[in-house]
Amino acid sequence: MEQLFNRKYIIQGLFLVVAIILLAKLFYIQIVSDAAFVAAESNVLKKKFKYPARGAILDRNMKVIVQNEPVYDLMVIPNEVKSFDTLALANALEISFDEVRKNLKKAKAKSNYQSTPFSKQISVQSYARLQEIMYRFPGFSTQDRTIRHYPDSVAGQLFGYVKEVSQADIDKSEGYYRSGDYIGKSGLERSYEDVLRGEKGVVNTVYDARNTPQGSYANGKYDVNAVSGERLISGIDIDVQKLGEELMLNKVGAVVAIEPATGEIIALVSSPGYDPNILVGKGFGNNYMDFIVGNPYRPSLVRPIQGYYPPGSSFKPIDALIALQEGVVDPNTTFNCPGYYMAGNHKVKCEHVDGNISMRRGIARSCNTYFCHVFQNLITKNGMKNQRQTYQDWRDKVAKFGFGTKLDIDMPFERKGYFYNADHYDKIYGNRWGYTTVISQAIGQGEITATPLQIANAMAIIANRGYYIKPHLIKGMGDKKLVKKEYVTKNYVGVDAKYFEPVIDGMQDAVNSAWGTATLSRIPDIIMCGKTGTVQNPHGKNHSVFIGFAPRDNPKIAIAVIVENAGYGSTYAAPIASYMVEKYLKRAVTGARANQVEWMKGQNLLPPLIDPNKKPKLTKADSLSIKKTDSVKRVKDSLKIKSAVIKQSVSTKPVANKPAILNTKPETK
Amino acid sequence: MQQQGNRFFFNVDWITVLIYIALCAIGFTNIYASIYNPDKSVGFDFASSYGKQLIYVITGLILGLSILLFDGRLFNVFAPFIYGVTLVLLVIVLFVGRNVGGNQAWIPIGSFRLQPSEFAKFGTALLLARYVSTFNPKFQDIKSIFIAAAIVLAPLLLIMLQPDTGSALVFLAFMFPLYREGLSGYFLLIFLGMIVLFVADFLVPTYILILILTTIGALFIYANKRKQKLIITTVFVTLIAIGYLFLVKVAYTKVLEPHQRSRIELMLGLKTDNKGAGYNVIQSQIAIGSGQATGRGFLQGTQTKYGYVPEQSTDFIFSTIGEEWGFMGCSVVIGLYIFLLLRLINLAERQRSTFSRVYGYSVACILFFHVFINIGMTIGIIPVIGIPLPLISYGGSSLWSFTILLFIFLKLDSNRMGFI
């Protein structure tokens, strides 16, 4: 009997154990874990977002170049939809009966309880029609938001585009972006996304289990008003930009113009370009395929910051400057030019036979021989044994001019070009290499490639007599006109100001003297200093290049123009530069030159395609990659057109893929 | 007259009565919160659930106090009669019952509905107590076990026919009073083993379970290799256990209704379903969990106020307590129940009469089953079994039946000095 009495404790013990189990689980879900609390909030709380207007962008003359236009999205909360007149809705929206059903299904798949886009960017007419009959469609609502508008229809690559966020964007944003939000995907829209987008507003509403709104949450304590995006002021002169794009019509290439004193970019032309308005709104998908992907000349390549070109003759002034600073030559040093320069047993040809030639004339006439000698002096100044070290010194000094490194422009996807250190040549040649091996770099050819931005920046350095401010597009953010510190900092290149004058003399002569290479591009009343370049291109016609700045004293604009496959620098690049400079400095191109502008706009210099249906593909031999070192012969362009000749033969072996032929002259005029 | 009144309420355990009143008050408060709607609060409404519950509580208290006026011996005498009446009601409900939520469990009487399964509990408790006290079996023989089982299983099976599995399961609580009276502890172990194997059968492949069972059996035989009788028993038990595994699989698909299957699968985590059968449990857990330590406060629970938990005033009333009163409130409620249960056991043990003791144990264990299953269900450690939380859930039949159950015992307890 006593034993049975003890069973009381077993039963009471069981009660206690069970109570402890219940309390333990309660302790976990109520105190340890906050998952239930979060779930409860998301049960009752629904956030409706208010979209801020994106910030506008102004040009340097305070003209609006990027603005907003209101559009309306038709939203739906599928759960609240009652049976409705499908046909009436389809008619109001000007879509088909089936599309209404399809859209509703799509919205349902996204979320049954949240407001989801049903039909985006409906027309103003549709919006007006809908307003009258909205009451017949419970569950539907309109939401106004803004889309971008670019009044001048230019500079597609520069501005970039805005697009609905991808899942990757959402994941990266740590909760800022939600499905259906918009984000700047390229160009300025991307690099200034944080400033332009503003701050989303939110209205918190409490809903009951039947999804009926029960009023604002906590008396609107957590509601936030939308804050419009900040205004950006750019250094772009939209008129110059527009002229540049018109001049580059039907040409492949790039133009970069910089205000030397500030580093502000005045124009940044990538050709072929496109109207940024085609990548706004409903037409995005088709237009993107048709005009961007479908264009064989690849407008998606932002040539000013991504195209790789040998700097060519534009490199010579830099050689001269470093040589002067190093003291290996002085402005009066002469070298004899017999029409070529012998680097070992390797001949670098020159376009002309000038006999004894000085620096000023050497620059004006772009003498290869002169600068090969300068380079030889630089690399061998410490004797033949120390060439590796002196090459590396030289390379580091040139790098200070911005070559081989990103200039940190405020645009995404800038590329840095190729400019090799000594160890690159060690790898290829062991220790058996010297100035003759890399002689082509003296004249801006060979392994060195640069973006048009880097080349224009080098011009700004010369214009500034020794320093540059990192080139940038935006000079002020918001009402306070904030600017990044790096865009006001002077970067000195280590060459004293006094050494610039002899070099600038030569550049002045190139445009303004009888023996110069760009005399036809002289601008009335303005002394422009410059240099032409005719960059040898084994794939087709030479690239036409011009670099320069103006006026000579207190320069206002530095410019680099590259027209691919256009031949001599003096024929196309130099005039284009001179028109843009004149437009910038005088606000108009006048006199006889106005007619020349129209003539230039009409020139079609598009390299022919072998098969017009096929896009030229970039291959390893192309500008985007370098397979092997062949210092003298290799020349790069941003876009490889396999042959200038339309070939009808069945041969698929393109000429360009053959090893370059020795007699190709490394350029220059 | 004074003498007379004292005689009726003499020796009544007022502490239990106080806990009873406290639980009823908690129930009323939370039912009010569960159906509270900020837009439609227009004073006190007797037509609403909380208004009705107030009537049930008051009438329940009157009912309970009037039970104290009875002579305790009557319950012993009338036990077979009361049991018989509840069985008849259980049969009647199968024919005239109103179908609510798939169960044929309600007999409509005027505007109220009577749930006979609730009253079958005390009928069974009384007859079981009567049987044990009269024949004083020690449950060592098959016959007495069989009779006791028959008393419990008759109403259980009738309730299964409704079918109201939840209410039927509660009758398993009678194992504990029988255990107290001498039923071998093995029966509890076997019962526990059946539950464990049942759950394990879903989570672990059957062949692994067979392997485990065989290994345990073999080890047990090895440890007791001298005791021949034990070896035979072990082999027998192992074989039955393995057979049970297969029986479970068959019974699961053939006997259980689809909704019951999905409830079990949800509880075991074999299935997730946020919209269908799992919705109740998930919303209930969200509500309880969101109460955190101290709760959102009376009438402040958003899940409660905005109707996110279905059946919240009846089976899921604990979610209101959890959300609005937090862990603190839950602990108080569970504490009150445990205090009541332990006290009932202690009261039962101080009885001289076996009848009172068996009945007391029955009351405690029925309450225990209800509390454990109901709260366990709302926090997702037990599959959804629709039985009310005693004295707190909304509903007259449930409240009255627990009142009768409890106050009969209080009456018996007040007579503990006398002879019944």
Q: Which residues in B334-345 are b (16+ Cβ under 10 Å) and which e? A: bebbbebbbebb
Return the residue of B nearest to A20 by Cα: B334
More confident residue, A631 or B295: B295
Boundary residue ending a domain (A202, A234, A266)? A234
Return the residue of A nearest to B183 by Cα: A4
Q: Which residues in A245-277 are b (16+ Cβ under 10 Å) and which e? A: bebbbebbbbbbbbbbbbbbbbbbbbbbbbbbb
| CATH code of the domain in which A80 resides | 3.90.1310.10
Return the residue of B nearest to A32 by Cα: B292
Chain A: closest CA distance from residue B397 (Å):
25
Is B368 in contact with A15 (Cβ distance < 8 A)?
Answer: yes
**Sign (positive or negative) of CA dihedral B36, B37, B39, B44:** negative
**What pLDDT is stored for residue A669 in this prediction?**
38
Same domain, A52 and A127: yes
Same domain, A22 and A71: no
Counted domains in chain A:
2
Same domain, A98 and A169: yes
Summarised one tens digit per residue, pLDDT across range B242-268 is: 888 888 888 887 777 777 777 777 777
pLDDT at B369 over 90: yes
**Sign (positive or negative) of CA dihedral B132, B135, B138, B142:** negative
In a domain, A190, yes or no: yes
Chain B: closest CA distance from residue A1 (Å):
9
Give chain B positions within 8 Å (CB) of A16: 338, 342
CA distance B245 to B239: 10
Same domain, A81 and A219: yes
**Residue in the structure block whose two tokens are 């445990």:** B338
* Touching A: B residues 14-43, CB under 8 Å: 38
Q: Select from A8, A25, A36 the Cβ nearest to the Cβ of B286.
A: A36
What secondary structure, in 3-state letters, does A266-277 show?
EEEEEECCCCHH
Alpha carbon separation from A611 to B2, B85, B259 (Å, rounded)? 119, 99, 67
In a domain, A572, yes or no: no
Summarised one tens digit per residue, pLDDT across range A568-623 is: 777 888 888 889 988 898 888 888 888 888 888 888 887 776 555 555 444 333 33
Residue A38, both tokens: 């979060």
CA distance A263 to A472: 6
Q: Which residues contact A60 (CB under 8 A, 6 or more apart)?
A: A233, A234, A235, A236, A237, A264, A266, A475
Q: Select from A5, A40, A208 the Cβ nearest to the Cβ of B307.
A: A208
More confident residue, B309 or B364: B364
CA distance B36 to B299: 7
**Residue in the structure block whose two tokens are 């019974």:** B251
User: In order along chain A (669 residues), what is the average pLDDT of each group of 10 residues?
Assistant: 79 94 94 88 81 87 86 83 82 85 85 79 83 83 82 84 84 80 86 86 82 75 84 89 88 90 90 83 76 78 86 83 84 81 77 80 83 84 79 86 86 85 80 78 80 90 89 85 83 86 85 76 84 75 85 90 82 87 87 82 76 47 36 39 36 36 38
In a domain, A526, yes or no: no
**CB hemisphere CA count around B35 (13 angstroms):** 21
What secondary structure, in 3-state letters, does B349-362 show?
HCCCCHHHHHHHHH
CA distance A635 to A637: 7
In a domain, A332, yes or no: no
**What pLDDT is stored for residue B151 in this prediction?**
94
**Residue in the structure block whose two tokens are 């390893």:** A620
Judge whether B368 is closer than 8 Å to chain A, CB to CB: yes
Q: Measured at the alpha carbon of residue A246, what is the angle toward residues A244 and A249, in degrees to the nearest 5? A: 110
Same domain, A9 and A118: no
Judge whether B216 is closer than 8 Å to chain A, CB to CB: no
Same domain, A8 and A132: no
Confidence at B42, pLDDT banded by 50, 70, 90 = low
Three-state secondary structure call for residue A174: coil
Chain B: closest CA distance from residue A80 (Å):
17
**What pLDDT is stored for residue A665 in this prediction?**
40
**What pLDDT is stored for residue B290 in this prediction?**
92
**What pLDDT is stored for residue B177 in this prediction?**
93
Ramachandran bin of A511, using left for φ above 0, alpha for ψ from -120 to 50, beta for the remaining angles: alpha
pLDDT at B73 over 80: yes
A312 contacts A542 by C-beta, under 8 angstroms: no
**What pLDDT is stored for residue B418 in this prediction?**
63
**What pLDDT is stored for residue A2 in this prediction?**
54
Looking at residues B409-414, what average pLDDT do you find?
A: 92
Same domain, A159 and A18: no
Boundary residue ending a domain (A208, A234, A260)? A234
Same domain, A181 and A85: yes
Boundary residue ending a domain (A234, A266, A295)? A234
In a domain, A441, yes or no: no
Same domain, A90 and A135: yes
**What pLDDT is stored for residue B335 in this prediction?**
97
In a domain, A73, yes or no: yes
Is B379 in contact with A37 (Cβ distance < 8 A)?
Answer: no
Summarised one tens digit per residue, pLDDT across range B86-128 is: 999 999 888 887 666 666 667 777 666 778 888 899 899 999 9
Looking at residues B139-145, what average pLDDT do you find?
A: 87
Summarised one tens digit per residue, pLDDT across range B150-201 is: 999 999 999 988 878 888 889 999 999 999 998 888 888 888 888 888 888 8
B187 contacts B148 by C-beta, under 8 angstroms: no
Same domain, A140 and A207: yes
**Residue in the structure block whose two tokens are 């360009």:** A656
pLDDT at B234 over 80: yes
Same domain, A171 and A229: yes
Closest CA to B267 of B369, B166, B380, B371: B380
More confident residue, B346 or A148: B346
Looking at residues B205-233, what average pLDDT do you find?
A: 85
- The domain of A14 spans 2-33
In a domain, A549, yes or no: no
In a domain, A421, yes or no: no
| A207-213, long-range: CB < 8 A, 24+ apart | A207/A44, A207/A45, A207/A46, A207/B306, A208/A44, A208/B305, A208/B306, A208/B307, A208/B308, A209/A43, A209/B306, A209/B307, A209/B308, A210/B307, A211/A77, A211/A79, A211/A80, A211/A113
Same domain, A27 and A136: no
